Structure 1
Amino acid sequence: MYTHKNNVITQGKPLSETGKALILVHGRGATAQSILDLANYLPVQDFTLYAPQATNNSWYPYSFMAPEEQNQPALDSALALLDEVVKSTLSQGVKSEDVYLGGFSQGACLTSEYATRNARKYGGLLLFTGGLVGQQLVADRYKGDFAGTPVLISTGDPDPHVPVSRVDETAELMEKLGAIVTKKIYPGRPHTILQEELDLAGKILSSADKG
């Protein structure tokens, strides 16, 4: 259907100075710049920020819980682009535990799918209203070891796009791969990011300074 060009906005100090990367993935209909604006509310002064831009402002066409074939080849292309961004930071001498990934809504779904298919010790995962992708989860495609990676995953109850049941499944699967998951379900919360979520994400990002 469409493929995603390698179009990534970078913000903050150079990676050679910070040694820490935060990759932020925007939601459906949004932009790389809009997700970078989120960084204004997070303690990221000592991070280099990266935000890939989806072609047509959407990572894949249908719901993240649609049959997977409906979202191909866009989904595979999006996962490949995220992989390029991660590998680019690692190739510059940054350790995986100094790479942090975050996203909102469709961006959180893509981020959780990428990270769990490629589980390793990341600095942290900030999954604002998202979960693993697919009509049913195919457990054996998720491999690796999160090795204690802190994960924040959230949704509203109900949320128009991300049901609590999928957040529960996602948290469980990540924990099986060694992640330390903080799961937050907010009754009656609209499809947005609350201050409490930003504070919890900030704790994960701030722990980077403590080594």
Structure 2
Amino acid sequence: MCGNNMSAPLPAIVPAARKATAAVIFLHGLGDTGHGWAEAMASIRSPHVKYICPHAPIMPVSLNMNMSMPSWFDIIGLSPDAQEDDAGIKQAAENIKALIDQEVKNGIPSHRIILGGFSQGGALSLYTALTSNQKLAGVVALSCWLPLRTSFPQAAASCTNKEVPVLQCHGESDPLVPLMFGSMTSEKLKTIVNPANIHFKTYPGLAHSSCNQEMTDVKQFIEKQLPPC
């Protein structure tokens, strides 16, 4: 169901304005595509950074009465105790790790790659980074949660990203992924990653979306973690 993404179209890419010496891989939310986030990244781009916004495969989603839509893995429910798509999450993470491998083969070392995402994409970016043996430059987690959280920190035992900087952002008025989920995720991350590297920012009045201040914070984080070589 969630194979190697061969069925999904090629990612939306914002190429570097000059030679790419760093990359940002950003994963969209449920039912979306990479195009909108590619536009958002283009508005905050750094000239030496390549931005890759892949599209999730189409699959039935339990939460939406099994309607087929772009989804990185199945979502059964949104409550903290809801059943999770264990196999689907792990397979999706392997697909993203393969995408990182491809960029490394293209000449960008993993420590010059930031992985990020919004909502379901942010959840997958956190899980992927925390179970990866590829050393990353940072993680951007917007309006999201940590999947399979009860499996941590054991699942991160061989992770090389114990010191990875994480920018976690959340709207204070989010009705879909409540702020409480973000707060719980931030506290959980501090048991897995160096707590000094977890940066949790909240935005008054922001629902399940992004805002100019958040994008400014994302831009500053990317510029700090991926300076020009």
* TM-score, structure 2 normalization: 0.78
The answer on 1:178 being equivalent to 2:194 is yes
Shift of 1:159: 2.1
Q: Which residue of 1 aligns with 2:182?
A: 167
User: Amino acid of the residue matched to residue 127 of structure 2?
Assistant: E
Q: Which residue of 2 aligns with 1:47?
A: 49
Task: Classify 1:2/1:155 alpha carbon distance in 2 versus 1 (closer, same or farther; 3 Å).
Answer: same
Shift of 1:210: 5.5
Shift of 1:158: 4.3
Shift of 1:141: 0.8
Q: When the two structures are aligned, how many residues end up with a matched partner?
A: 208
Shift of 1:198: 0.9
Q: Which residue of 2 aligns with 1:75?
A: 89
Looking at structure 1, the residues matched to 47 and 16 of structure 2 have their Cα atoms a distance apart, in angstroms, of 11
Structure 2: any 5+ residue segments left out of the alignment?
Answer: 59-69
User: Amino acid of the residue matched to residue 114 of structure 2?
Assistant: Y
Q: Which residue of 2 aligns with 1:205?
A: 222
Structure 2 contact 27–121 (Cα < 8 Å) conserved: yes
Higher relative contact order (CA 8 A, sep 6+): 1
Looking at structure 2, the residues matched to 113 and 47 of structure 1 have their Cα atoms a distance apart, in angstroms, of 23
* TM-score, structure 1 normalization: 0.84
Looking at structure 2, the residues matched to 109 and 203 of structure 1 have their Cα atoms a distance apart, in angstroms, of 21
Q: Which residue of 1 aligns with 2:113?
A: 99
TM-align CA RMSD: 2.6
State percent identity of aligned pairs: 21
Looking at structure 1, the residues matched to 150 and 134 of structure 2 have their Cα atoms a distance apart, in angstroms, of 20
3-state SS in 1 of match to 2:150: coil
Shift of 1:98: 0.3
User: Amino acid of the residue matched to residue 185 of structure 2?
Assistant: T
Shift of 1:77: 2.8
Shift of 1:86: 0.8
Structure 2 contact 21–228 (Cα < 8 Å) conserved: no
Looking at structure 1, the residues matched to 16 and 215 of structure 2 have their Cα atoms a distance apart, in angstroms, of 24
User: Amino acid of the residue matched to residue 67 of structure 1?
Assistant: Q
Looking at structure 2, the residues matched to 107 and 183 of structure 1 have their Cα atoms a distance apart, in angstroms, of 17
Structure 1 contact 4–54 (Cα < 8 Å) conserved: no
User: Amino acid of the residue matched to residue 146 of structure 1?
Assistant: N
Looking at structure 2, the residues matched to 2 and 210 of structure 1 have their Cα atoms a distance apart, in angstroms, of 36
Shift of 1:96: 2.1
Task: Classify 1:169/1:83 alpha carbon distance in 2 versus 1 (closer, same or farther; 3 Å).
Answer: same
Q: Which residue of 2 aligns with 1:194?
A: 211
User: Amino acid of the residue matched to residue 178 of structure 1?
Assistant: N
Q: Which residue of 1 aligns with 2:32?
A: 30
Deviates more, 1:57-66 or 1:82-91: 57-66
Structure 1 contact 21–47 (Cα < 8 Å) conserved: yes
Looking at structure 2, the residues matched to 210 and 94 of structure 1 have their Cα atoms a distance apart, in angstroms, of 13
Q: Which residue of 2 aligns with 1:5?
A: 5
The answer on 1:116 being equivalent to 2:114 is no
Structure 2 contact 2–72 (Cα < 8 Å) conserved: no
